[in-house]
Every structure is written in structure tokens, then in C-alpha cells.
Amino acid sequence: MDEPALRTLLNSLEASRSSLHLLLHFFTCSVVIGLGFDLFVIIKEFLDDWGEFRYGQIHPDENHLPKRPSMSLLIVALLGTALIVIGVAGELYVDVQAGNIETQIRAANDKLLGLIIQEAGDAKTSALDAANAAGRAKDQSDKAVASASNAMTIASGARQEADSFEKDIVSAKTQAANAESHLAEALKQAADATEELKRLKSARSLINESELVSALAPFKGTKYMFSSVFADEESINLLKQIDGMLQRAEWKICQPGSSCQSGRPFPPALNIFSHGTTLEVSQGLTTGVAISVESTESVESLRALPAEELPPHVRAALALNSNLSSNVWPPQENGVIKALTLNVVSGTDPFVLITVGKKP
């Protein structure tokens, strides 16, 4: 399979994995609703049993017939149990499908890496062939010069033959120049392929952290939250680096369920231990690092305002986005969203949302 076909396959697998995210939410909601039904049945049965117990205490000598079982209560209990079973089975199905897709993605990435390595090897071979051609051309040039010199010394009447040798010299020099040009191009292709291979194999990390902390320290006290992270080691390590850098800049982490998140529903989370704190972060399927803010104003309204009149958390988000885009290594085209396309979502919470997706 060639490189365009592999990249098309990877895009298709990414789309399939994204569709599983919504299906996972549906089955999770099914489990929650089923648990709610079961909780209702438990409370209802307890209240009925408590009522009979209180009646027996008040009328200890009275014999009374047991209450008839409630068919509707049975139906609610069965429905709740069925929803839980369906939800758990669905989550298992989504997990298996996601695992299969991840396996296919890894296999496609390995094949793509193999193609890149093969292309680098081919470029190196072409460079060696070009170098050999240049050597042969130079030898031919030297021979042509010697033959021309000998012909001129033999007799002035051999001028025509000498002219022929001179043409051979010009042709040989042209071949040598073309060979050198091909060698330079092949060497450049080999260097580009090596650099791309290095980028693919290198994990993302922050550089110039001290400068980052200094640039963001003027916004100390800004609340931030990791809204989601791709569930692989490389993305989680980058999240920990960003968290540590923001804590050094005296920004304040906002956890789901805390005072800055009260009343807000939160998807199932990963527990990530970072700098002495266990962070609850939702599992995401996005790519690259994205910075977002909530605002009641539209993006156009915010862009129309002078920088000093923007809300403090928006200015802090712009500073974070701008500095991250130039301090994540290895550099990548869509690794960090540019400041002019900062995400603005409808809301009133004055904190910065950070999404750490997988490496592009």
C-alpha cells in the first residue's frame, strides 16, 4: 500500500474512532438511567417495609394479610436492570471496537513509517549513484582534455579532430554539472526524510519553560481546567508538563465538581497524578493542543475590543495560546491552535479550558 492510500486509511480510521465517542456517551447514559430506576425501587421497597413495621408496632396483636406485590414496581426494577445490562454491554462493545481501531491505526502508522524509511534509503542510493556518475563524468572529461592536447601537438592539420575533442569536453562538463545538481537534490531529500522521521518518533515536550513561566506570571491567579486528554502516554506526559508550568506561573487548577465547576455535568474521567495532585480529566479523541474560553460575547465582539478591555481570562488564554504555539517541540503545523483562531464557546465560567489531543 502506497503513502496516499495509508493516509486515506488513517483518516477513515480516525473518523470511525470519533463516531464511537458519541456511542460511548449513549451507553453511559443508559447505565446512569438504569441505576436511577433501581435506586427508586430500593427506596420504594424500603418505605413499604418501614410502613408495615410501624403498623405492626402500633397493632402488635392484629394479624393482617401481606400486601399484594406491585407489578409496576417489578416492571421499573426490570427496566432499570435491563438498561444497566445494555449500557455495560454497549460500553464493552465500544471498548472492543476502539481497541480494534487503535490496533489498525498503529499498524497503518508502522507501515507509513516503513515507507518513509524506505524513501530515505532510496534517496541515499540515488545520491550515491549521482556521485558515481559525477566521478565517471570527470574521468571522461580528463581523458578528453588529454586527447585534445595530444592531437594538437601531432599536427596543425588535426584541428577538426581537436574541435571534436573540445565538444566532448563541454559535454562531459555538462554531465558533471547535472550529476552534481542531482546529488544536491538527493542529499536534500534524504535530510528532509530524516527530519520527518525524527519528528514522528519524538514525543512532544515544552521548551524554554522558564520563559513560558515569565510570560504567563502576569496572569497569576487565572483558573484553568483540562477539559480532555487523549489516552496515551505521550499526551498525558505533555499534559503534566503544561500543568507543572502553569502552577509555577501561579495559575489555579480547577477540578470537576469543585466550586468553579459546581452543577456542571462531567463525562467519565481519567485519574492523572500530576505534581502532587490527582487530576480528573475526560478522555478525548482530538488532535493537537487547543485553548478555549467561555464568554457570553461572540468571537467577533471580542476581536473588536482593544486588548486591555478584554476579560482577564480571555487575555490569559491568548497569552497561553501564543506562547505554547512557539514552545512545543517538535514543531508541527497543527500542534497548537493559533491565537487568532482561539476557541470561544458560550458560557459564563471565567476560566481557561485546555484540551491535549494526540500528536498529529
Instruction: Give residue-wise pLDDT tens across range 11-27.
Output: 887 888 788 878 888 88
pLDDT at 251: 95
Give residue 222's pLDDT.
94
Nearest to 17 by CA among 335, 333, 232: 232
Listed in sequence order, the residues at least 6 apart from 157 whose beta carbon sits closer than 8 Å to its beta carbon are: none
Angle 297-301-307 from CA coordinates, rounded to 5°: 105
- Whole-angstrom distance, CA of residue 318 vs CA of residue 211: 16
Count of CB atoms within 10 A of residue 325's CB? Answer: 16
Neighbours of 34 (CB within 10 A): 20
pLDDT tens-place string over residues 31-88? 899 898 888 888 988 887 787 777 777 777 766 666 677 788 889 888 889 988 998 9
pLDDT of residue 176: 65
pLDDT value of residue 335: 45
pLDDT range class, residue 252, cuts 50, 70, 90: very high
148 vs 340, which has greater pLDDT?
A: 148
Question: 100-109, 184-193, 276-285 — which is least confidently predicted?
Answer: 184-193
116-142 pLDDT, tens digit each? 888 888 878 887 887 787 778 788 878
pLDDT higher at 269 or 302 = 302
Section 219-232 average pLDDT: 92
Is it the case that residue 337 has pLDDT exceeding 60?
no
For residue 309, what are the contacts with CB-CB under 8 A and spacing of at least 6? none
Element housing 25 (H / E): helix 3-58
- What are residue 253's DSSP bridge partners? 224
Residue 155: pLDDT over 60: no
pLDDT of residue 266: 59
Model pLDDT, residue 342: 66
The pLDDT of residue 336: 46
pLDDT at 356: 93
Domain-wise residue ranges, the chain: 1-201, 205-356
pLDDT bin (cut points 50, 70, 90) of residue 158 is very low
Residues 107, 61: contact at Cβ < 8 Å? no
How high is the mean pLDDT of the chain? 81
On the question of pLDDT at 179 being above 70, the answer is: no
Mean pLDDT, range 337-341, rounded to an integer: 41
Can you give the pLDDT at residue 341? 47
- Mapping DSSP to helix (H, G, I), strand (E, B) and coil, where does residue 288 land? coil
Residue 344 pLDDT greater than 60, yes or no? yes
Phi, psi of 298 (to 5 degrees): -80, 165
In which band, very low, low, confident or very high, does the pLDDT at 183 lie, cut at 50, 70 and 90?
A: confident
Percent over 70 (pLDDT), the chain: 82
